[in-house]
Each structure stands twice: as C-alpha cells, then as structure tokens.
Amino acid sequence: MKSAHIRVLIVLAIFTLVGIIGTQVFWLNRAIEQQDQVFNHNVQVALRNVVESLCEANGKDFPTVNPIEQVSGNYFIVRTNDRIDLANLEYLISAEIKKKSISQDFEYGVYDCTNDQMVYAENVNLGDEKRVDVIPVLENEEYYFGVYFPEKSKNLLAGFDLWKFTTLITLVVIVFFGYALFVILRQKRLSEVQKDFINNVSHELKTPLATLSLASSTLINRSDNKSNKYLEIIQAEVSRLQKNVEDILHSSLLDSRQTVKMKPVNLFDFLTAMVTQLKNEYAAQMISWNISCKDTITILSNEKLLENIIRNLVDNAIKYGGKKIDFTIEHAEKKTSLSISDNGQGIAEKYQKKIFNKFYRIPDTQNQHNQKGFGLGLQIVNSAVKKLKGKISVDSKLNEGSTFKIEFPNG
C-alpha cells in the first residue's frame, strides 16, 4: 500500500473516531440535560402539591405567585408565608416525591424569614421508614422551607451505565487502533527496508555472477576434458544462482505498484516461438512438446511478463518429473485461456491453495530436499498474471500431473 493511501486511511479513521466520540458526548449531554429537566419538573410539581396540602390544612388559599424557586441545580425553596405543620411536612414531602418516582435522599430545613435563621432541619433517607417522634413546635408564621438533594448529580449519572460502557468500549477501540496503526507503520517501514536491501543485494550479485559465467565459459573452451568437468559444474551452479537472483528481482518488481505497459500479442505465434526456444534449452531432458490451437488469437499483454510466466511453469513442471508438456489455447467471447499441462508427480490437494504464496514450498516428507529454490517461482507467476489482469488456477492429482490454467481478458 502506498504511503499516500495509508495517510488517507489514517486521516479517515481519526475523523471517524473523533466523530463517534463527539456524537457520543453530544447525546450524553443531551440525555443528562433532559433527565435533569424531568427531575426538576417532578420536584417542583411534588413541592407544589405539598404547598397545596399545607394551605388546605391551614384553611388558606394557594399563593397567587409561584411559591417555588430553584436556587441551584439541587436546591429548591418553597415560600409558604404561613404556619408550617412540622408533624406532616416530612411526610408530605416524602410522599409527593415518591409519587413522582424520585428515589433520591434529600435534606430539608425550615427557615425563619424574619431572623434569616434555620429553626429546624432533618436529613431524610427514603429507604428508611423510621420517623422522628419529637418535632419542635414553631410559633412564628413567617417561614419558608428548603429541600436539598445532595447526590442529585451522582444519581443522574448512575442512570447512564450503558453510555459509560459504550464510552469505555470506544476508548478501548481507540487504544487498539493506535497500537495497530503503530504496528502497521513499523511493518511498512521494515518491509521497505527489506525490499531495498533485497534489490541492492540482488543487483550487486548479478555483476559477479555474470563475470563468473563468462570466465567459466571461456575456460571451458580453452581447457582439456579433465578440467572441463569441474568448469561445467561451476557454470551450472553459477546459472542456478543467476536464476535465483532473477527470481528475487522479479518478485520484488512484481510486488511494486509500477504499471505494466500492455500491447496486442498474438498468443499462438508467441507460444510457438517460446516452445522453439524451450526445446533447445531442455534438449537434454528429452521433453515432448505439444501446442493445441492454430487460430489467430490476440490478447492485450506484456511479452516479458508472459515469457516469465511460461518459463516458470515449464521449469516447475520439468523440475518435478514432467516429460510431456502440453499447451492448450481456448478462446471465448470475453476471455482467452492458456493451459499448461504436464505428467509430473502432481500436487496434493491440501497444498494447492498455498503454492502461490511467497516463499512457500511443498513439505518434503522424506527430508531429502532434492529440489532447490526459494519458493518464488509460482508466486512470481501469480503476481505476473495479476499484473496482466488475469487469473490463474491449478488442477492437479498426485502421480498424474498438473494443469495450470491462465485466463486473460480479450484485447
């Protein structure tokens, strides 16, 4: 993934998380405000009913001016300007508050408006049914009483356990997102360092390997038969190293995001020329070659990648015992397929989904390691096919051979 894409992904993820948190905080505040408004309204209605009961007991009319005032978020005062029956006040307040489904403990006090002094106060726990038997008698009629809810804010927040849980989950997600982001960026950096290292090492190896190959070829032509044996071994090993280096370079190139130049390619003509080259290269192995299709079929492709695909599949087939290689071209309305079949040892079904993975090699049950390599051949084929906007599949059975089918979109 490109750095620009990662930055866009990070920005979008951050905006998403900020949006989620902002929305959650906004609706939490709205919910708390609504709960607070409902609580205040219910308390005022309950206290209004208390005033009505006191006025009725004293034979007075209900005050024309609203007697209830909310001094602060959790403190209410009620102006009665009349005698307050302390014997019933606590009972009336408790009863009316319970009617409004308010279960919070409260404190109340009765004040002398003339002296501005509290003359009676009591803390009431609604979960406690005990009553105070001895209540002082207040003679002065200039009174008002106040009701205070000391744990209002705490109790309001207690009703939002679900919100707290979702907020905690959101915070956990943010922490994991931050950690995942850190790991992704670190892995990307390590991947880039690794890719640069592989490219540099591969390029540095190509020059001495080419020099060794040239030197060994020259010495073979000038040496006697006894020396030729060892020089041929050197040349064979140099060739093998050169192929491994080329595989690494091709794998690194195909993993990059570079676009591939495509042009019309006559598949049958291209395949015929390729088979002619392959016959010469594998003449010593006595391989049987066959091409099925003589139609003029043109696909949009890249000749270098197409050659790489065919060479790797053929090399793989011969490496694992194939003595007969068949090429089949089939043309349809929207796609053209190229099948490469061999009669080699085949691939067990349980390994077929993994063979296109990078560095994957089928386990050697006998631990002989007869076939060398890095496990890049089929990964290079798969990556090259994708670069050409095609698809590859395999059909194989043990001891019966394999068929690799490549589907190309028609040009």
Contact criterion met (CB below 8 Å) for 303 and 374: no
Nearby residues of 159 by Cβ (< 8 Å), 6 or more positions away: 35
If you average pLDDT over residues 384-411, what whole number do you get? 89
Count of CA atoms in the C-beta half-sphere (13 A) of 225: 0
CA atoms of 273 and 32, how far apart (whole Å)? 79
Q: Which helix (H) or strand (E) holds 268?
A: helix 267-281
Residue 373: what pLDDT? 59
CATH 1.10.287.130 residue ranges for the chain: 183-255
Higher pLDDT, 118 or 218: 218
Contact criterion met (CB below 8 Å) for 275 and 340: no
CATH 3.30.565.10 residue ranges for the chain: 263-409
- Of the pLDDT bands very low, low, confident and very high (cuts 50, 70, 90), residue 202 is low
Q: Which of 161-175, 199-213, 310-324 has the lowest mean pLDDT?
A: 199-213
What digits encode the pLDDT tens for the residues 207-250? 777 777 777 777 777 666 666 666 777 777 777 777 766 766 66
Alpha helices in 75-224 (DSSP H): 86-99, 152-158, 161-222
- Of the pLDDT bands very low, low, confident and very high (cuts 50, 70, 90), residue 271 is very high
Residue 200: what pLDDT? 66
Contact criterion met (CB below 8 Å) for 408 and 388: yes
Q: Which CA distances in Å does 122 have to 69, 118, 311?
A: 20, 11, 96
Query: Ranked by mean pLDDT, which of 86-90, 126-130, 199-203 comes out on top?
Result: 86-90
Residue 369: what pLDDT? 45
If you average pLDDT over residues 323-328, what whole number do you get? 94
CA atoms of 262 and 300, how far apart (whole Å)? 6
Task: For domain 183-255, give the CATH number.
Answer: 1.10.287.130
- Of the pLDDT bands very low, low, confident and very high (cuts 50, 70, 90), residue 366 is very low
Would strands 324-331 and 335-342 be described as parallel, antiparallel, or unpaired? Answer: antiparallel
pLDDT > 70 fraction of the chain, expressed in percent and rounded:
76
13, two tokens? 């993820």
Q: Which of 52-66, 92-106, 219-233, 301-315 has the lowest mean pLDDT?
A: 219-233
Fold designation for 263-409 = Heat Shock Protein 90 (3.30.565)
Q: Phi/psi at 113 (nearest 5 deg)?
A: -65, -30
pLDDT surpassing 80 at residue 261: yes
Residue 58: what pLDDT? 75
- Of the pLDDT bands very low, low, confident and very high (cuts 50, 70, 90), residue 194 is low
* Closest CA relative to residue 339, chosen from 296, 302, 392: 392
Residue 71: what pLDDT? 84
